[in-house]
Homo-oligomer: A and B are copies of this chain.
């Protein structure tokens, strides 16, 4: 395998730094050539000094000026310093890059990743919006340009590995494992009174606030259901969820003959990232699993009554691209309102359900139309929350 040249969208985040640690441990296989950082000037500077990429992009013009100055002072030359969306897109489409790690959260990541697909790059995909809000567009573009989309989150990466055990038409269904969040054993009657403080205590992962609440409502798993439908071309009824609090088995594929293949590993993001970067090969790592960790695993059916967000995600997945956009946008607005104390916990699914009921199935034909549909759903979510507050008051 010759050296793969890597562009990283989101180089200063956790997936970006994990990607660079893989470049560090596999210098003969991977070389980062373009980095799109967030706002962390210090880390972006250090990455430039260490890796000497052709291009670096940082969020704002002011930060780009500071970064240029720091690099000049340090005697580092030859790095093109860019900023904003144009800079991110340049990183995503750099002619020299073979592989683009898409790890910028949200809509900014969407535009750059779409540009990378159009430029024919192989994608290591960690941005959820790409498949949830624009799955139709991105997969159609990937098909036309012969681009492989390799999932980097642990569940879809596990499914990708297990799907190597058979042909697409031999898959009976797939099973995404879900931690179940902090309320997997909470009685339904208590759900109305769950506070932000309670919901922000997540048992397994350290995460951002929205994703922590999404884990508590299981909306995060709902988004993964939609992603799996798009990525693996499966109808929603073939994408199952099993609640598995230990997160030891990362996901499973069930074949028509009754065989199930499961992927198991330590919980470390470097593993799916390395898998995606090396695919179709596998490269060595020191991430070894202790077989004793397979003892005492739990598997439960998810409870759709206590976790209506799961049901709503299945409905959106089966309805249209516009409904998936609405689900994601309405959730983000509702979670913010919940965190400000303006909405009860169960107001999150109620808001989503209201916005979904207002959504028509017209499919966005461009990323701009996706963004328009996203903004529209957010406005409807705000309106739904105001109306609900007025009713309660």
Give me the interface of A with B, judged by CB distance under 8 Å.
Answer: 161-162, 164-167, 170, 172, 175, 242, 249, 252, 254-266, 268, 271, 274-275, 278, 281-289, 291-292, 294-300
Contact = CB atoms under 8 A, between A and B. Distances in A.
A281 B297 CA distance: 31
11 contacts: A164-B164, A164-B165, A167-B282, A170-B281, A172-B284, A249-B294, A252-B264, A257-B274, A260-B265, A261-B261, A295-B296
A258 B167 CA distance: 24
A249 B264 CA distance: 12
Contacts of A287: 257-258
Nearest to A294: B299
> How many copies of this chain does one complex carry?
2
A4 B227 CA distance: 38
Nearest to A274: B257
A221 to B, nearest CB: 15
Given A167-B281, A281-B170, A261 B294 contact: no
A257 B242 contact: no
Contact of A259 (B257, B258, B263): B263
B292 A299 contact: yes
Contact of A170 (B166, B257, B271, B282): B282
A124 to B, nearest CB: 14
Contacts of A265: 258-260
Contacts of A284: 172, 256-257
A258 B265 CA distance: 6
Nearest to A268: B258
Nearest to A158: B259
B165 A165 contact: yes
Nearest to A282: B170
Contact of A258 (B256, B260, B266, B294): B266
Contacts of A281: 167, 170
Contacts of A263: 259-262
A299 B288 contact: no
Contacts of A258: 265-266, 268, 271, 285-289
A241 to B, nearest CB: 10
A294 B252 CA distance: 12
**Residue from A249, A261, A291 with most neighbouring chain B CB atoms (10 Å):** A291
Nearest to A240: B291
Contact of A262 (B254, B261, B275, B285): B261
A283 B278 CA distance: 31
A286 to B, nearest CB: 8
Contacts of A175: 291
B289 A299 contact: no
A44 B224 CA distance: 53
B294 A271 contact: no
Contacts of A259: 161, 263-265, 271, 275, 282
Contacts of A299: 291-292, 294-295
Contacts of A167: 281-282
A129 to B, nearest CB: 27
**Residue from A175, A258, A298 with most neighbouring chain B CB atoms (10 Å):** A258
